[in-house]
């Protein structure tokens, strides 16, 4: 049997979902009599990631001291390596004043059902300076035009810390039953497939030929047994393609253009932070937890706008991640595109001498959207026709 990579920070995975039916039913009953707190979408996504084992070895939401320490130097006050504060932040905590245990209500499901029960260890108010300092470190900017910063600074500054027990996976398990998988599920899949070297590919977009080639190049160069395409299923910024459309297009591409049984298509329940380098490190942590040995980190990984340099998300692993902090390896990818000279998709830095920019088939996201909306076929060098067809029908449904 293949020996899987160790989870981050512990010998075995510690998912916070209450899997025992009787225990879960008892907690659901208890929740009826507990003070209730309606949490924000990011806190709910954090709960789902904790429930899934992706945020191993955390046992719940961080307090203010840990959040400040993680933002400042990527370590909790006890020394655990962690790149981004995992918090439950609200504007008003008066409903839970003095409570020791509370029920957390899901903001993303009709009727706001109970998502988790939290033991309240502390309720602390952060100053504006502390909020700004954390945003600057995690996002590299305090500009509220940045969607991650805007979200972080608008949901509140009261930190409700403490361990949680999670009762369900919010809307992810019900809306994406074919795709949503926990870190526990993915470890089982990897074991069942007998894989030991596994490449993870992060995506919040449909996959064009450049992405397809990137996964294949990484698998070949790392001698991987398989790849896990791992797509974000949570909230994105306006204009990003919804998860069900991405899912359908990725499935079609893998079905037609990958070797049978070489690729698992999965998704995780999290809202995009757009935190660039710091989010790339978080991606590495939770891919190690799900059993991947390698993560592809590409150009402007998890970025938005022009807030980050094209390779900042790779450089952070050399400059700021302490040696030995993570076991997962990073496959550093350049921008990939179809080369008319070579006749296939290649990484731009590996183009033959004399290769010019115009020798690549390259389309901006805006151009792709315009063409698909107008019913124009994308160049076959850029997108697989079967994938483009799925995307075209989505864009045409918008007009």
**Marked catalytic residue, from 14, 112, 157, 205:** 205
| 151 three-class SS | helix
Cis peptide bond upstream of 57, omega within 30: yes
What are the backbone angles phi and psi of residue 172, rounded to the nearest 5°? -65, -45
Q: Using CB atoms within 10 A of its CB, is residue 329 exposed (0-12), middle (13-18) or buried (19+)?
A: middle
Q: How many Å apart are CA 223 and CA 225, to the nearest integer?
A: 7
- Token output for 108: 């993303």
**Marked catalytic residue, from 56, 151, 187, 204:** 204
204 is catalytic: yes
Angle between helices 64-73 and 128-139 (to 10 degrees): 40
Q: What is the number of other CB atoms lying within 10 angstroms of the CB of residue 204?
A: 18
Provide the CB-side half-sphere exposure for 185 (13 A, CA): 19
Beta-sheet pairing, 158-166 with 122-125:
antiparallel
> What residues have CB less than 8 Å from 124, skipping those under 6 apart?
63, 64, 158, 159, 161
What are the backbone angles phi and psi of residue 166, rounded to the nearest 5°? -100, 135
Q: How many Å apart are CA 166 and CA 63, to the nearest integer?
A: 18
**What positions carry a catalytic annotation?**
204-205
């Amino acid at each position: 049997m293949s020996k899987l990579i160790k989870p981050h920070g512990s010998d075995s995975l510690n998912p916070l979902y209450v899997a025992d039916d009787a225990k879960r039913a008892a907690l659901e009953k208890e929740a009826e009599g507990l003070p209730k707190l309606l949490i924000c979408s990011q806190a709910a996504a954090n709960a789902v990631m904790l429930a899934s084992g992706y945020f191993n070895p955390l046992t719940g939401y961080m307090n203010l001291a840990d959040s400040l320490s993680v933002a400042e130097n990527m370590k909790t006050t006890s020394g655990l390596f962690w790149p981004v504060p995992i918090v439950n932040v609200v504007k008003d905590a008066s409903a839970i004043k003095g409570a020791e245990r509370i029920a957390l209500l899901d903001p993303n499901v009709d009727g706001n059902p109970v998502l988790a029960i939290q033991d309240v260890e502390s309720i602390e108010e952060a100053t504006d300076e502390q909020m700004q300092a954390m945003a600057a470190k995690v996002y590299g900017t305090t500009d509220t035009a940045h969607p991650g910063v805007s979200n972080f600074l608008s949901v509140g500054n009261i930190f409700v810390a403490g361990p949680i027990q999670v009762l369900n996976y919010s809307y992810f398990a019900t809306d994406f039953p074919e795709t949503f998988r926990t870190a526990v599920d993915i470890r089982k899949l990897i074991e069942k497939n007998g894989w030991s070297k596994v490449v993870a590919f992060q995506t919040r977009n449909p996959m064009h030929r450049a992405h397809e080639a990137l996964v294949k190049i990484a698998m070949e160069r790392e001698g991987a047994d398989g790849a896990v395409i791992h797509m974000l299923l949570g909230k994105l910024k306006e204009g990003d393609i919804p998860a069900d459309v991405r899912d359908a297009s990725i499935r079609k591409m893998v079905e037609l253009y990958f070797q049978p049984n070489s690729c698992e298509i999965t998704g995780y329940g999290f809202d995009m932070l757009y935190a660039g380098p710091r989010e790339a490190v978080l991606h590495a942590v939770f891919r190690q937890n799900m059993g991947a040995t390698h993560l592809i980190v590409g150009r402007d990984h998890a970025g938005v706008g022009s807030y980050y340099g094209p390779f900042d998300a790779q450089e952070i692993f050399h400059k700021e991640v302490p040696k030995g902090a993570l076991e997962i390896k990073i496959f550093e990818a350049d921008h990939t595109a179809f080369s008319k000279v070579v006749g296939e998709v290649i990484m731009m830095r590996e183009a033959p001498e004399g290769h010019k920019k115009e020798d690549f088939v390259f389309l901006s996201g805006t151009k792709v959207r315009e063409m698909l909306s107008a019913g124009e076929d994308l160049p076959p060098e850029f997108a697989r026709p079967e994938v483009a067809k799925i995307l075209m029908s989505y864009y045409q449904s918008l007009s």
